[in-house]
Structure 1
Amino acid sequence: MPVYNGASCIEDALCSILGQSFNDFELVIMDDGSTDDTVEIIQEYADERIHLYRCRHDFIASLNQGISVAKGDYIVRMDADDKMFPDRLAEQFRFMEEHPDIAVCGSWARTFGASDELLRTSEQDVDIRVGLLYHNVLIHPSVIIRRQAVENFMRTKNRRELYDRDYIYAEDYKLWVEMALSGFRFANLPKVLLLYRRSDSQVTSLFLDQVMRKTADVQHYYMEALVRELPDDVSSWYIRNMEIPESLPGVKKRLSEALFWKDEIYNYIRWYKGEIPRLYFTPSPLPEQCIEWDTVQMSAILTWTELHQKPKYLESLRLSPNAFSGKKVLDVGAGPVPSGTCFDDCRLF
């Protein structure tokens, strides 16, 4: 549990953790350079399970250090302004013991403070993997992570830290995407095991623009990896690795669409590069009509994941509707015939 200037709420979090029905755990608290009474409040608790570490103010570094010093077979994430339900650890420990194939397991949550709502999340691995294309489907302070999976992941990636420091405000989202691409499996328990605080002082409220931009960066990373790295037979890859049951026809339909669009994108790219003389009766563009390759690739990626819905995307980046006008790029999702769509600054897009 990392904490920064959490004096006003840390006691609620501590009481909810120390009062768990499952009590065989250590509580690793990473003080992220607090300047209020947070440390003094923590030190008032005479519980040998508490291990307090004091760090300079660097949230992701504190997260990574906390992972490195934790000793348990499982690592449970918690935020200092939230509260656990009494059976959270027991429920998640039992599930992980019964499902050794699962690397990360989250849960549903209920918000409190500025709002009161139920946060439902996708439960099955296949839905979580597909859902990660569009948003973060795991509530970070609700997850339990298998230590062996963490070690295997870091060894495979040849890295010393779990969370990527370049993705501040979306470090957990980036981690789930990387683990999904590496073949690790996920689950969410359809039970409310966490009370998730909502307030105007939260990072997601104070730094909304940065959160949205980093979220978009993670989505681009995932999409690009899928477009570049998946075998040509996308549907077979998904079925083999996700074990899609027949009871999920909607998912199979979406994967079939993904296969179709992947083939279409490759055809458009080959057409654009002159490797296919005609596509849908349209000749390849002349050299003077071509633009930078990165723009074509990004347009393909955005289209493939339905992020080509430009008004919504522009709004999320806080850009005006007329932010792009003047240059031609290839919009592979405009219709059955390749067409040029005008944007002002390809690099921004």
Structure 2
Amino acid sequence: MTDLVSVVLPVFNGSIFLREAIESVIAQTYKPLELIVVDDGSTDDTAIVAKSYGERLAYHHQENRGVAAALNRGIRASHGKYIAWLSHDDVFLPHKLERQIEYLHEHPEYRAIYSDFYIIDADGEIIREIETPWYPRESAIWKLFGSMYINGSSTLIERTCFDEVGFFNERLRYSQDVDMWIRMGLAFDFGRIPEKLLKWRSHPDQGSREVGEHGAEKWETYRRIFIELMDKGLFPEQIRTANRGPIQANAYTWLGDEMVEHRQWYGFAVEQYARSFSLWPSLHNPAAGKLIVNWMRGTYWMTRRRLGRIYRGIFRSAQHQRVATEPQEHQGTNPDSRNSLR
């Protein structure tokens, strides 16, 4: 008997792209599948678009609670052995699910997989191709700190995985994915299909581009996960040595290094270097120099961004003033204009 796949599609005010996403699920070469659309309190035409497909999908509406809550509702309502996630602005390629099911059957050591993908713009034009890396479980957990290389819409996950690690953390509105992938990485390996099976859309209206809130939540998520991993003893040297200060200090230095190299989070890195130095207050601790250097780098980029915002504000203000005064100046100085008023 062929296994049922459940596609959970969370959406918030995504009517512009929703139809294309739904059509990409309906066009899948793999059957059987069910499509569950979870409307997270949309105020646009999302409901109209979704309901126009009738019984070809299951439509659920809830108050706005975020992507994690919408995903969880869809997973709980699903009946499939496997769960796929599709964001409302992304697009499955037609053979996406078929190839992933084949891969899981060929590689029973994996219960969750992801794939390579294309990046498309708001008009659907391909602007970049992404070949994702693969790491064994022992390395994958740490690599996820530096790079979110698992795209949620590219995944296919056996339902039992959620039974083991739990559902998405609904307190997180922007970083629910990294939290889930690290929790899963602690329990089992992810597989990777080296094929592009998804079109991931990059556009100005994405919720993940709310940089202020997004950044603050990401910082807090990584802090919490890092401390939890420390408590689980994933730095084995902590247990084998009586001098735990330098070992723990080096762990915080590693975290700062990862965030500087891969994310350019200078403020976050300075925080980790300071924590490292407090645990091992010695000039032999490389965090001492890194703290100073990255504080200076962070200050430079913060000042540059602020000056950029000030400059853009002055430029826009000057433009508005010029547009507001041009008609009056034109009317008072152009002879043709005066003649036309006679």
Contact 1:107 1:142 in 2 (8 A): yes
- SS of residue paired to 2:179: helix
Provide the C-alpha distance between the structure 2 equivalents of 1:50 and 1:112, rounded to a whole number of angstroms: 25
Which amino acid in the other structure matches residue 223 of structure 2?
H
Higher percent of residues as helix: 2
- SS of residue paired to 2:171: helix
Which amino acid in the other structure matches residue 148 of structure 2?
N
CA gap 1:337/1:112 in 2 versus in 1, 3 angstroms: closer
Partner of 1:116: 127
Summarize deviations over 1:238-269 as a string: whole Å, max 9, x none: xxxxxxxxxxxxxxxxxxxxx6xx58996252
Provide the C-alpha distance between the structure 2 equivalents of 1:327 and 1:25, rounded to a whole number of angstroms: 49
Provide the C-alpha distance between the structure 1 equivalents of 2:58 and 2:275, rounded to a whole number of angstroms: 57
- SS of residue paired to 1:133: helix
Q: What root-mean-square deviation, in Å, do the aligned CA atoms of Structure 1 and Structure 2 show?
A: 3.6
Summarize deviations over 1:286-323 as a string: whole Å, max 9, x none: xxxxxxxxxx96x5542133x157867995376898x9
Match of 1:55 among 53, 59, 62: 62
- Radius of gyration: which is bigger? 2
Which amino acid in the other structure matches residue 146 of structure 1?
E
Provide the C-alpha distance between the structure 2 equivalents of 1:198 and 1:334, rounded to a whole number of angstroms: 45
* CA apart distance, 1:339: 8.1
Partner of 1:267: 243
Match of 1:38 among 43, 46, 55: 46
Match of 1:163 among 159, 168, 183: 168
Provide the C-alpha distance between the structure 2 equivalents of 1:336 and 1:152, rounded to a whole number of angstroms: 43
- SS of residue paired to 2:201: strand
1:153 aligns with 2:165: yes
Provide the C-alpha distance between the structure 1 equivalents of 2:151 and 2:12, rounded to a whole number of angstroms: 19
Contact 1:20 1:89 in 2 (8 A): yes
- SS of residue paired to 2:112: strand
Summarize deviations over 1:107-158 as a string: whole Å, max 9, x none: 111111167111221234345334123222210111111011211223xxxx
Provide the C-alpha distance between the structure 2 equivalents of 1:75 and 1:339, rounded to a whole number of angstroms: 43
CA gap 1:9/1:311 in 2 versus in 1, 3 angstroms: closer
1:14 aligns with 2:22: yes
Provide the C-alpha distance between the structure 1 equivalents of 2:266 and 2:254, rounded to a whole number of angstroms: 19
Which amino acid in the other structure matches residue 197 of structure 1?
R
* CA apart distance, 1:226: 3.1
Provide the C-alpha distance between the structure 1 equivalents of 2:77 and 2:287, rounded to a whole number of angstroms: 54
* CA apart distance, 1:21: 0.5
Q: Which runs of 5+ in 1 are unaligned?
A: 155-161, 235-258, 272-295, 344-349
Provide the C-alpha distance between the structure 1 equivalents of 2:108 and 2:225, rounded to a whole number of angstroms: 26
CA gap 1:192/1:310 in 2 versus in 1, 3 angstroms: closer
1:131 aligns with 2:131: no
Contact 1:103 1:146 in 2 (8 A): yes
Which amino acid in the other structure matches residue 63 of structure 2?
R
Identity %: 22
Which amino acid in the other structure matches residue 136 of structure 1?
M
1:224 aligns with 2:232: no
Partner of 2:178: 173
Contact 2:161 2:184 in 1 (8 A): no
How do 1:1-349 and structure 2 match up within 5 A?
1-46=9-54, 48-59=55-66, 60-113=68-121, 116-126=127-137, 127-154=139-166, 162-181=167-186, 183-205=187-209, 207-230=210-233, 234=236, 267-269=243-245, 300-305=250-255, 307-308=256-257, 316=265, 329-330=277-278, 332=280, 336=284
Q: Which runs of 5+ in 2 are unaligned?
A: 1-8, 293-342
188-197 or 208-217, which deviates more: 208-217
Contact 2:134 2:191 in 1 (8 A): yes
Provide the C-alpha distance between the structure 1 equivalents of 2:222 and 2:268, rounded to a whole number of angstroms: 18
194-203 or 93-102, which deviates more: 93-102
Contact 2:259 2:265 in 1 (8 A): no
Contact 2:13 2:45 in 1 (8 A): yes
61-70 or 107-116, which deviates more: 107-116
Provide the C-alpha distance between the structure 1 equivalents of 2:269 and 2:146, rounded to a whole number of angstroms: 22
Contact 1:73 1:147 in 2 (8 A): yes
**TM-score, with structure 1 as normaliser:** 0.69
